[in-house]
Amino acid sequence: MNSTTIRTRRLLAFATSALLVAGLGACSSTKSSSANGEKSQAGPVTMEFWGWAPYEKIVDQWNAAHPDSQVTFKKIPSGGKGGYTQISNAITAGKGPCLAQIEYQAIPSMLVKNTVMDITRYASADTAKYLPSAVSASSIGGKIYGIPVDVGPMVLFYRSDLFAKYGITNPPATWAEYKADAEKVAAADPSVKFGTAPGEGNDLAAYSLQTGQSWYSTQGNSWTVSIDNPGTRKVAAFWQELKDKGLVTKTGNAWDPQFNKAAEEGKVLTFVNASWAAGGLKSDLKDQSGKWAVAPMPTWEAGDGKSSSNGGSATSVMTGCKTPREAAQFAAFLSSDPQAVKTGIDAGLYPASKAGQDDPSLAAADPFFGGQKVGDLYKASAAQVPTTWTNGPTYQQVETDLTGAIGSGTYPDAVAKVQASTVATIKQLGLSVTNG
């Protein structure tokens, strides 16, 4: 299971205009004019869609309802595990798909590689259907490069039975309360850890997103890299202190075997992550059904109303697709058709669609979480994600460098190191960049 971050991105206008060059594609077409004055197929349209989510049923739904516009779905590895490279290589070879699943944070780097297409003319009229943060996450320089599918609202998963055992009456509402509760548990039993420390670059990005301070900004034709900013330094110092005091596990994710073992032994009380992480808890810790509960993500200031998000993706039309209008229509169906959204929810995707968040299945009581209506918490979290975050053009480098630096040193050191490595990598792309 992969964790990823969702954030607002605005790329330089110069990058947008310079890189959007039409190339060869895998979508066939015949001569016919659309309402936009472009060529599209007169007969049945056939398009390939590549992704790693379980989209097969949604594609079948589309094909059954649209005999003149047929989509073939190809399952590929997740983006960071080779999917993006596979997409880019195929487009370069003139054999790329018309559509692809792209994580929000990867859209700028895919634009730099000239693999995503501007679909503003097809998508701009429907942006109000989706969460504003998801629309921003799919947009670069005021242009739309993907239709939002899902988001990853962050919450606090916690063991209600162990909270009672250690005398914690309410889940921590702030990070200061989180620390105090962690110290209380450690005083009672040093072998018990209150939560998990961030283990991946995406985790650190999600915690930083909550502070409202971005890792990137642009001015004129130049990037400014600000990974080592006050908000991120605050996050890094907080988790480093908890880690140094032995208050949290060294294993950062709930799906790691070490976490599962600790949970089974009653040695860990909380886990902060996105809504989709509930699936890992349910599958790996079936015997603990009814013992887990969900609460809002702790905030830095009491009542500040800021949450975060980790993960999520859009459906992008790829460079070279010869039927972009039809491709965008399918992407919109995948994201907003009630039946398609319901299929995605059943597969573990929390919808970026506002209407989709009101699906009855998300309002149901969840037995694993003691009968809580956890969908209400996910919806509230999704609405509280700051829209101040801008992501840069070297997502994979940042994720890889941060994860490696976290594993070999302290969080503050990792932040400083990746600040430097990111500036260097952007320079290698031939883009103007400065330290923030």
Rounded Cα–Cα distance for residues 75 and 78 (Å): 9
203's enclosing H/E stretch is: helix 201-211
Q: Choose between 10 and 307: higher pLDDT.
A: 307
Q: Taking residues 321-333, report their average pLDDT.
A: 97
Over range 180-190, report the average pLDDT.
98
256, with CB counted inside 10 A (0-12, 13-18, 19+), is middle
Q: Is the pLDDT of residue 26 over 60?
A: no
Confidence at residue 11, expressed as pLDDT on a 0 to 100 scale = 29
- Could you tell me the pLDDT band of residue 44, with boundaries at 50, 70 and 90? confident
What is the structure's pLDDT at 177?
98
Task: Give the C-alpha separation, 159 to 177, whole Å.
Answer: 16
Q: Average pLDDT of the chain? A: 88
Quick check: do 13-152+310-375 and 153-308+389-431 share a fold? yes
pLDDT at res. 222: 85
Mean pLDDT confidence for 387-396: 85
pLDDT band with cut points at 50, 70 and 90 for residue 425:
very high
- Lowest-confidence region among 95-109, 124-138, 253-267, 294-308: 253-267
- Bridge-partner residues for 36, per DSSP? none
Percent of the chain with pLDDT over 90: 76
Can you give the pTM of this predicted structure? 0.87
Of 71-85, 152-166, 288-302, minimum mean pLDDT range: 71-85
* CATH architecture type of domain 153-308+389-431: 3-Layer(aba) Sandwich (3.40)
Domain locations in the chain as residue ranges: 13-152+310-375, 153-308+389-431
In the numeric block, which tokens belong to residue 159?
């063991």
At residue 183, φ and ψ (nearest 5 deg) are -65, -35
Token couple for 416: 């400083």
Q: Does domain 13-152+310-375 have CATH number 3.40.50.300?
A: no
Q: What is the pLDDT of residue 251?
A: 65
> Average pLDDT for residues 231-252, to the nearest whole number?
93
Task: List, for residues 131-149, the tens digit of each pLDDT value.
Answer: 988 998 898 878 999 999 9
pLDDT at 167 over 90: yes
The predicted model gives 2-29 an average pLDDT of 30
